[in-house]
Amino acid sequence: MEVCVQGLDWEPEDTDKGIFEHYMLKEIYEQPEALENAMRGRLNDADAGAHFGGLNLDTQQLRRIDRVIMTACGTSYHAALVGEYLFEELARMPVEVEYASEFRYRNPPSTATPSSSPSPSRARPPTRWPPCASRKRKGHPTLSVCNVVGSTIAREADGGVYLHAGPEIGVASTKAFTSQVMVLAMLALYLGRMRHLSSIQGGRMLAELRAIPDLIRHTLGCHGTVRRVAERYCDASNFFYLGRQYLYPVALEGALKLKEISYIHAEGYPPPR
């Protein structure tokens, strides 16, 4: 048995709280840098699209994909729901998002060339790998989107993309969620440019993606306002988050965060018509 030791690509200050009171607060404020790291070297102005070096699928194989299945749990499941909207809108590809813990018990009919894409995750719970393994056994290409170098999914999938979000120590995922959405948006752009998306549309999306980190920096300036809102409603026993289209999965994620951190009942819903 050969043992391969792989060092972590982290700096000591990456796991320090710094000036922040909590790891979660620190990681919230690290989102702009995490998104810049996710985009670094992957946006291609010449092609008005994105490119990835680790997919291990050639252009013809990617063009033949006629169905995408994303499997994930928790926060990654909500990121995958955003990815579903992005893939369908930009790449015109049918997408299904499944809970990884339940997908392992199913045997859905599939076409000859689907791509099963486990959604990104910061951790490596055992429930996430069996769905990928079952797809591989049936000869379907599998892609991983994850943050941990050398994780089980990253090692065993046919190809993949790393988030490069850095360590996430807080119990509730923050920067990993937004990095997952960013990577899925770039993948949707990459596949869309192979299919029907025009260079004008691609160039416009590149500009919008590059603007996101600064927009988040501006948004994080509302810390004082958020604190006052939290103090005003801290005694409430129920919260409802409403969102439509891309913001519906964000509403689900917001409700999950409130439940994880405060143990207050919260639900996410699409608003009524």
Which residues, in sequence order, are CB contacts of 272 under 8 Å at separation 6+? none
Helix or strand holding residue 24 (H, E):
helix 23-29
The whole-number pLDDT of residue 150 equals: 76
Q: pLDDT by residue (tens digit) across 95-144?
A: 999 998 888 787 777 665 555 554 555 544 444 445 565 555 566 788 99
pLDDT digits (tens, 9 = 90+) for 31-53: 999 999 999 999 999 999 999 98
In whole angstroms, give the CA distance from residue 251 to residue 87.
20
| Predicted confidence (pLDDT) per residue in 137-176, tens digit | 566 788 999 888 878 888 888 888 999 998 888 888 999 9
| Per-residue model confidence as pLDDT tens digits over 220-234 | 999 899 999 999 999
Residue partners of 217: CB distance under 8 A and separation at least 6: 32
Question: Which residues lie closer than 8 Å to 96 by C-beta, 6 or more apart?
Answer: 67, 68, 69, 70, 84
Q: Which two tokens stand for residue 62?
A: 């990617």
